[in-house]
């Protein structure tokens, strides 16, 4: 498929350009974790292919059953719009992030250019939107054709494709692996364990309370989090005025994604101190 070829091409280009893919650094040395990742990828690819596979099955694609094959049904139009939006958002978001990193931005500056100005994860939004559009595009024979009940059930069941994509990106391999690790990186830029202020809190006692920050990187990043939607695009000036309950319940900025300065900050500081001590 076009979207899969685009994604594969971009990832290949990025690895060739940078020399590695850091997403696998934590699991590459663990056989079962690494194997589990690839098995999960196989299951995901199979599942997201279901709408197209079922559409092209004889029970659905037969001209006698699929009805009028001409383009223009409501599911066609809505599906192609969603697919186009998702494909654009994901493709452009990936390119803009790559260009931002290649421009050597100032230390501690999160990507907030282009589509990233409206969302902290535009490629995730694009991926989810794309799969909902693809499912709707493939649903036309069920809505406008004369399919047997079993074929209709199969087409409706293919909704697993966009649902699985949403679950993975929102609760598994997407936001959970991006939000806190990124916040941790910016936190340690302001509170490095090697700083004199951190050392004064006592390396033997460990991290107890936040020392004085060395710079404004963490405070600026927290402002960025308050102003920038986690996944659904919104103008920052509007998003910053939303109450927290709305951000959490409707806009998916769940508490589980939050980096807690006292709990997560302490763990990050101690981990960084141990790494520096063993280096």
Give the pLDDT confidence score for residue 41 in this predicted structure.
79
266 pLDDT exceeds 60? yes
Q: For 189-239, write each residue's pLDDT tens digit.
A: 999 887 655 545 544 455 667 778 999 999 999 999 999 999 999 999 999
**Is 60 inside any structural domain?**
yes
Q: What percent of the chain has pLDDT over 70?
A: 80
Q: Which of 42-56, 63-77, 173-187 has the lowest mean pLDDT?
A: 63-77
Select the more confidently predicted residue: 103 or 68.
103
Q: Examine the fold and report which residue of 119, 138, 173 is the final residue of a domain before the chain moves on.
A: 173
- Alpha-carbon gap, residue 133 to 77, rounded angstroms: 9
- Alpha-carbon gap, residue 190 to 141, rounded angstroms: 57
**Is 3 inside any structural domain?**
no
Radius of gyration of the chain (CA): 23
Give the pLDDT confidence score for residue 143 in this predicted structure.
87
Kindly report the pTM of this predicted structure.
0.84
pLDDT-derived band at 98, boundaries 50, 70, 90: very high
- Domain limits at 167? 23-173
My answer on whether 190 and 166 are in the same domain is no
Q: Which of 16-20, 145-149, 193-197, 270-274 has the lowest mean pLDDT?
A: 16-20
Give the pLDDT confidence score for residue 21 in this predicted structure.
56
My answer on whether 120 and 227 are in the same domain is no
- Alpha-carbon gap, residue 203 to 269, rounded angstroms: 10
Q: Which of 24-33, 93-102, 222-231, 245-254 has the lowest mean pLDDT?
A: 24-33
**Is 17 inside any structural domain?**
no
Q: Which of 15-24, 35-44, 64-73 has the lowest mean pLDDT?
A: 15-24
Split into its structural domains, the chain has a count of 2
My answer on whether 168 and 183 are in the same domain is no
Q: Which of 39-43, 61-65, 228-232 has the lowest mean pLDDT?
A: 61-65
68 pLDDT exceeds 50? yes
Give the pLDDT confidence score for residue 71 in this predicted structure.
76
- Alpha-carbon gap, residue 100 to 94, rounded angstroms: 10
Give the pLDDT confidence score for residue 274 in this predicted structure.
84
Q: What percent of the chain has pLDDT over 90?
A: 61
My answer on whether 86 and 217 are in the same domain is no
Give the pLDDT confidence score for residue 54 in this predicted structure.
94
254 pLDDT exceeds 60? yes
* Ordered DSSP codes for the chain: -HHHHHHHHHHHHHHHHHSS-GGGTTTTT-HHHHHHHHHHHHHHHHHHTHHHHHHTSHHHH-TTTS---SS--HHHHHHHHHHHHHHHHHHHHHHHHHHHHHT-PPTT----SGGGGT-S-HHHHHHHHHHHHHHHHHTHHHHHS---HHHHHHHHHTTHHHHHHHHHHHHTSSHHHHHHHHHHHHHHHHS-TTSHHHHHT-TTT---S----SSSHHHHHHHHHHHS-SSS---HHHHTTS-HHHHHHTS---GGG---TTHHHHHHHHHHHHHHHH-
Alpha carbon 192 to its chain's center? 27
Task: Supply the mean pLDDT for the chain.
Answer: 85
My answer on whether 202 and 271 are in the same domain is yes
Q: Which of 88, 77, 73 is nearest to 129 (CA)?
A: 88
**Is 35 inside any structural domain?**
yes
Give the pLDDT confidence score for residue 42 in this predicted structure.
84
My answer on whether 167 and 32 are in the same domain is yes
pLDDT-derived band at 27, boundaries 50, 70, 90: low
My answer on whether 166 and 193 are in the same domain is no
Q: For 112-169, write each residue's pLDDT tens digit.
A: 999 999 999 999 999 999 999 999 999 988 888 788 899 999 999 999 999 999 999 9
Give the pLDDT mean for 49-72.
82
Tell me, letter by letter, the H, E, C secondary structure of 45-105: HHHHCHHHHHHCCHHHHCCCCCCCCCCCCHHHHHHHHHHHHHHHHHHHHHHHHHHHHHCCC
pLDDT-derived band at 30, boundaries 50, 70, 90: low
């Amino acid at each position: 498929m076009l979207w899969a070829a685009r994604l594969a091409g971009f990832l290949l280009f990025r690895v060739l350009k940078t020399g590695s893919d850091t997403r696998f650094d934590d699991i590459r040395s663990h056989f079962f974790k690494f194997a589990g990742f690839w098995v999960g990828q196989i299951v995901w690819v199979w599942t997201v292919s279901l709408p197209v596979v079922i559409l092209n099955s004889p029970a659905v694609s037969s001209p006698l059953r699929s009805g009028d094959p001409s383009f223009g049904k409501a599911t066609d139009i809505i599906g192609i719009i969603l697919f186009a939006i998702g494909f654009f958002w994901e493709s452009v978001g990936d390119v803009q992030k790559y260009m931002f990193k290649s421009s050597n931005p100032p230390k501690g500056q999160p990507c907030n250019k282009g589509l990233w100005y409206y969302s902290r994860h535009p490629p995730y939004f694009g991926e989810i939107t794309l799969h909902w559009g693809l499912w709707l595009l493939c649903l036309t024979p069920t809505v406008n054709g004369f399919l047997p009940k079993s074929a209709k059930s199969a087409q409706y069941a293919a909704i697993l494709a966009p649902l699985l994509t949403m679950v993975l990106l929102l609760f598994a391999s997407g936001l959970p692996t991006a939000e806190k690790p990124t916040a941790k990186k910016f936190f340690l830029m302001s509170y490095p364990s090697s700083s004199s202020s951190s050392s004064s809190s006592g390396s033997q006692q460990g991290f107890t309370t936040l020392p004085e920050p060395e710079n404004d990187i963490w405070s600026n990043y927290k402002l960025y989090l308050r102003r920038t939607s986690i996944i659904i695009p919104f103008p920052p000036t509007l998003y910053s005025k939303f109450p927290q309950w709305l951000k959490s319940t409707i806009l998916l900025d769940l508490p589980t994604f939050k980096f807690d300065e006292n709990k997560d900050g302490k763990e990050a500081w101690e981990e960084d101190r141990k790494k520096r001590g063993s280096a």
